[in-house]
Structure 1
């Protein structure tokens, strides 16, 4: 598991570098947007964009990890299709080629023959990432990789990645919007049980370095498997005044229902993965979402980290049913191996019942007791 963790973390760092590169090079960035349509369109947004950065990151992770772990090759899945349409109307299947030169040649087709941009990206795709993290050498958990599968969200909060600013001021540690909410999410789950096992959250836009003002990344990880829980994070302390983080477009009825519990501590932020990270970091005690607008690739990685910290992510609708039936512990958590029956496209993998992410059981129970009469 230490080897797989290192492989996934290295892939996440390479992914973060590609995300930074595409966002920082304005001439390149302007080329990298294609609107999603049809069944692949996220119903939550009027405009939901797929970027070449998304596709490249997804394919790089699949390539690098699949090469090192062939048994996972056919079980690494992501949000994006690897087909991209360039400005000339040509459809190109984006993939990592055997050599940097071949990858650059392929990317030129996507980038309307922009050679310099293609070579820049190809160099980032093929560069070797060497991690220097002594904590990773101490990981001694044996997990059979041949029974695992991987979910990738190459850039969560794509709208903020495209349009967000880097100078947004946090409110009590939580960024309400901006580049900080654009994350790389990787989750490993058990193919048969559907349980999340390993999670990685990489923040490509963690801070701007000086004096070059280039973005620096930061990663977090967690493992939860058969009673063993390890994480790069420590379990957050219980706060005196509990706080919940919500989407800015969350239903008014849910906001009003939670107001007596959280008072003035209703916080709002962009990006599902970022709000889950806020819970893992202890910046919020719960993330509640009443709609089915998140997906397995959003939640799998953060879910594993939260489990490693003693928490989890429950299916809100199913948990409310269980609560009403008198079941107040072991509430139904999200699982990751089964599509939604009758759904098509991205909706096959939606968390349709909504979610509650938490670290402490008492916070989960407080949310459930508050919402049970409101929904």
Structure 2
């Protein structure tokens, strides 16, 4: 499994390269964006888009992992349909081929015959990139790849990626919107229980490079299985709450007003807002925020699996908010129903089968759970 972790770190960096390549030329990027419809659409958004970058990254990860670990074939799941429609109205199934020239030919179909753009993407997809991470490579894990599955969110916060605002991270490390919120998420879970055991997060647009024209990325990883808890983070820094007894709470700007009103007293009225579910959970992992609360079922297994594993490696977790509220109402205070990743929701169709329907609470310190959930009792 340590070999799988090393592979996931490396393919996450390849994914970050693809994401950066696809943003370099605005006319090229305009060709790559397509609106989702029907069962693929996230009901939270009036318009929900996927990009060729999303699809290519997902299929590249599926190809590279399946080639090295064939026992995972059929257990690597992603957010995106791999069908893309080109300018001629032709539906093209995007896959990564074993030969570069075959991948180029397939991508050229999507890109209306643009061989130059197709070759550029193909080079990023087929590069032999090995990321060195001594801490990750030194781990010893006694779990078989046959026992796990993988969730991929190829570009979380796709809307921020498409909009492309080049906002840089603040001195505190927090960025409410813009390219830094767009993340590559790869999570590993146990097939039997759905427990998240390994996660890799790559932030392709972490900071501007020395020229000021391009971007440099950063990767993060965590493992929580059996007696092994390891993470690329050291102890998190103090949260942005800072005031004694005050919590730093991050929400979606579209969160319902009742939730905002209920949680505002916990943070002295200083609620924080950010784009992307993965990025908001990353803020909790980094210690910038104490808790991320979402009251609606608008996130999915691919959004939360990878960062959930990092939180567990650091002693935190992600709970089902609706189940927490129900437990307290039923007098079962202290029960903490963690999200799991192996079973679709019965009676649901399309992407809704994999929604975190009860909302969520992502935390680092379990001491905050009672305060946060208690504030929401009877309010939602």
TM normalised by structure 1 equals 0.97
SS at match of 1:213: coil
Instruction: Give the CA deviation at 1:172.
Output: 4.5
Alpha-carbon distance in 2 for matches of 1:172, 1:120 = 36
Matched, 1:269 2:284: no
Equivalent in 317, 326, 335 of residue 322 of structure 2: 317
Preserved CA contact (<8 Å) 2:237 2:286: no
Tell me the equivalent position of 1:282.
Answer: 287
Tell me the equivalent position of 1:122.
Answer: 122
Alpha-carbon distance in 2 for matches of 1:11, 1:327 = 43
Instruction: Give the CA deviation at 1:169.
Output: 6.0
Number of residue pairs matched by the alignment: 375
Measured against aligned partners, the alpha-carbon deviations of 1:297-337 in whole angstroms (never above 9, x if no partner) come to: 00000101000010000000011111222333341011111
Task: After TM superposition, list the pairs within 5 Å mapping 1:216-231 onto structure 2.
Answer: 216-231=216-231
Tell me the equivalent position of 1:295.
Answer: 300
Instruction: Give the CA deviation at 1:168.
Output: 5.0
SS at match of 1:189: strand
Alpha-carbon distance in 1 for matches of 2:288, 2:237 = 10
Tell me the equivalent position of 1:154.
Answer: 154
Instruction: Give the CA deviation at 1:229.
Output: 0.8
Preserved CA contact (<8 Å) 2:175 2:181: yes
SS at match of 1:23: coil
Alpha-carbon distance in 1 for matches of 2:376, 2:48 = 30
Task: After TM superposition, list the pairs within 5 Å mapping 1:155-234 onto structure 2.
Answer: 155-168=155-168, 170=170, 172-211=172-211, 213-234=213-234
Measured against aligned partners, the alpha-carbon deviations of 1:331-353 in whole angstroms (never above 9, x if no partner) come to: 10111111111111000000010
Matched, 1:352 2:357: yes
Tell me the equivalent position of 2:24.
Answer: 24
Alpha-carbon distance in 2 for matches of 1:305, 1:42 = 25
Alpha-carbon distance in 2 for matches of 1:119, 1:131 = 23
SS at match of 2:152: strand
SS at match of 1:360: coil
Preserved CA contact (<8 Å) 1:168 1:177: no
Tell me the equivalent position of 1:333.
Answer: 338
Preserved CA contact (<8 Å) 1:75 1:150: yes
Alpha-carbon distance in 1 for matches of 2:270, 2:174 = 12
RMSD (Å) for aligned C-alpha atoms: 1.3
Instruction: Give the CA deviation at 1:237.
Output: 4.7
SS at match of 2:149: strand
TM normalised by structure 2 equals 0.96
Matched, 1:363 2:376: no
Matched, 1:253 2:258: yes
Inter-CA distance 182–64: structure 2 relative to 1 (3 Å threshold): same
- In the alignment, structure 1 segments of 5+ residues that lack a partner are none
Matched, 1:58 2:63: no
Alpha-carbon distance in 2 for matches of 1:120, 1:374 = 52
Q: 176-185 or 134-143, which moves further after superposition?
A: 134-143
- In the alignment, structure 2 segments of 5+ residues that lack a partner are none
Q: 169-178 or 123-132, which moves further after superposition?
A: 169-178
Instruction: Give the CA deviation at 1:164.
Output: 3.1
Instruction: Give the CA deviation at 1:235.
Output: 3.1
Alpha-carbon distance in 1 for matches of 2:260, 2:171 = 18
Q: 22-31 or 296-305, which moves further after superposition?
A: 22-31
Instruction: Give the CA deviation at 1:69.
Output: 0.5
Matched, 1:12 2:18: no
Instruction: Give the CA deviation at 1:238.
Output: 5.3
Preserved CA contact (<8 Å) 1:199 1:302: yes
Alpha-carbon distance in 2 for matches of 1:62, 1:24 = 24
Alpha-carbon distance in 2 for matches of 1:220, 1:7 = 13
Alpha-carbon distance in 2 for matches of 1:24, 1:50 = 17
Preserved CA contact (<8 Å) 1:161 1:179: yes
